[in-house]
Amino acid sequence: MCNHSKKYRFSDIPELHELEKKIDRRHFLSKTAMGMGALALGSLFSQEGLMAKGMSPAGGLPGLPHHPPKAKRIIYLFQSGGPSQLDLYDYKPKLQSMQGQDLPASIRGEQRLTGMSANQSIFPVAQSAFEFKQYGKSRAWVSDLMPYTAEVVDELCFIKSMITEQINHDPAITFMQSGHQLPGRPSMGAWMSYGLGSENQNLPGFVVLVSKNAVRDQPLYARLWGNGFLPSQHQGVQFRSGKDPVLYLGNPENYEGEDRKEMLDYLKELNGLQYDTYGDPEINARIAQYEMAFRMQTSVPEVSDLSDEPDWVFDLYGEESRDPGTYAANCLLARKLIEKDVRFVQLYHQGWDQHGNLPGGIRNQCAKTDQATAALIKDLKQRGLLEDTLVVWGGEFGRTVYSQGTLTEDNYGRDHHPRCFTMWMAGAGVKPGFSYGVTDDFGYNVVQDPVHVHDFHASLMHLFGVDHEQLIFKHQGRRFRLTDVAGNVIHDLFA
């Protein structure tokens, strides 16, 4: 451990003090010109709603929210791989009489197919292997794969008419998370953090949890929760199970907290000199990240420790909730995080990509996720948190009504299907016990009230009091937003 008999500041060191004076003389005119130009541009952009004049107390942009929000926090349960809406929520009794028959060309139309099924000679209709029943006062249809979710249907707002253009996993997941199929754009959570800031200065505004026990059928990339071209402090921070929930957060051996604070103070001065010289805003973002990491050294171990939860809570979420890093434990941790006012908690659970052996695969997936998902809704409601916490469940696209490969009496697979799929939301201003959008008798096309991914993003941001057309960031000469150049708020989804 380092011991210091005297505390030095950089201004006390002659060489650095002289360097600082030289930097000031050398760059005075350029820095002044750049500073005055930035002020002029800032004034211009702020009139157009394009740039912040400064930061709000919560770290967001002044003037936000644009209107009174219904939601303060969000837990997004992302089901990676594309869950089959036809085997979970979108009941199609007509398929029983069409079992094994070739999907009519009039239904399939000119829709693009993946390379995995495009060369099939026939596209045999596959009815669901699972029984559907209606539940709750809303009489929502749910398959017997989701008995726990069936208990909370009167809290859910189903969207059965979701549409995306992306037919393969990587662009589809990227599109759902960032509003664009190509990498490089900020994620939804980063946009929220940038616009609205954080209500807890000791935890990140955007936290990511990835199930450790999931089927790794499709990869997940850190760019899915990245900041893109937004300042880097808005990227998602991944919490992991195990000794170190956040990598490289702890102090080295024999390194005390006071030493750490002193080092950060010196580092802040160095970064301040660099910022004064070059004016790069990313330098300030780096300072903010160092300071957040220091505060997180205490707050992260506390919030990620589930040992203080009573037995009835673990019983509610299921036995796996006692095992950190599982989907069930992450749902419980998500509740703890939003109790600490983390604004955006993103869960990723892989394993829904069932091109073959769908009945067995989807049964296993539901067994790992159903109880904990429903428990999260119940837990939030009983604590009074569901009123201003939005919960979202869904994947990147749906699955085809026809079987990919051979259809047998007890087995089938389903290919990717972007033209209609099901998601649901709960809490924070959405209509409970409500179903929006209708698909045809084959669950292949939307016939009423389509909801594009851009519409979904626009509606979600509206719940947070954000006008999606006004939350803009100028980058490389273009004004960007989460919804790109599209998106309509679907007001019928709101209570």
pLDDT, tens digit, 9 for 90 and up, residues 205-224? 999 999 998 888 889 999 99
What pLDDT is attached to residue 245?
74
Q: Is residue 16 pLDDT above 60, yes or no?
A: no
Percent of the chain with pLDDT over 70: 84
Model confidence at 487, pLDDT cuts 50, 70, 90, reads very high
Q: What is the arithmetic mean of pLDDT over 195-200? A: 92
What pLDDT is attached to residue 386?
98
Model confidence at 9, pLDDT cuts 50, 70, 90, reads very low
SS (H, E, C) 263-293: HHHHHHHHHHHHHHHHCCHHHHHHHHHHHHH
Q: Are 109 and 123 in contact (CB under 8 A)?
A: no
Question: Residue 113: how many CA atoms within 13 Å on its side-chain side?
Answer: 18
Q: What is the arithmetic mean of pLDDT over 441-445? A: 98
Task: Kindly give the pairing relationship between strand 446-448 and strand 438-439.
Answer: antiparallel
pLDDT tens track for 365-388: 999 999 999 999 999 999 999 999
Q: Which of 58-62, 209-213, 408-412 has the lowest mean pLDDT?
A: 58-62
| pLDDT mean across residues, the chain | 87
Total residue count of the chain as it appears in this document = 495
Torsion (CA) 60, 65, 66, 68 in degrees, nearest 10: -170
Please tell me the pTM assigned to this model: 0.84
Of 134, 38, 32, which Cα lies nearest the Cα of 91? 134
Q: Are 52 and 61 in contact (CB under 8 A)?
A: yes
Q: Is residue 296 pLDDT above 80, yes or no?
A: no
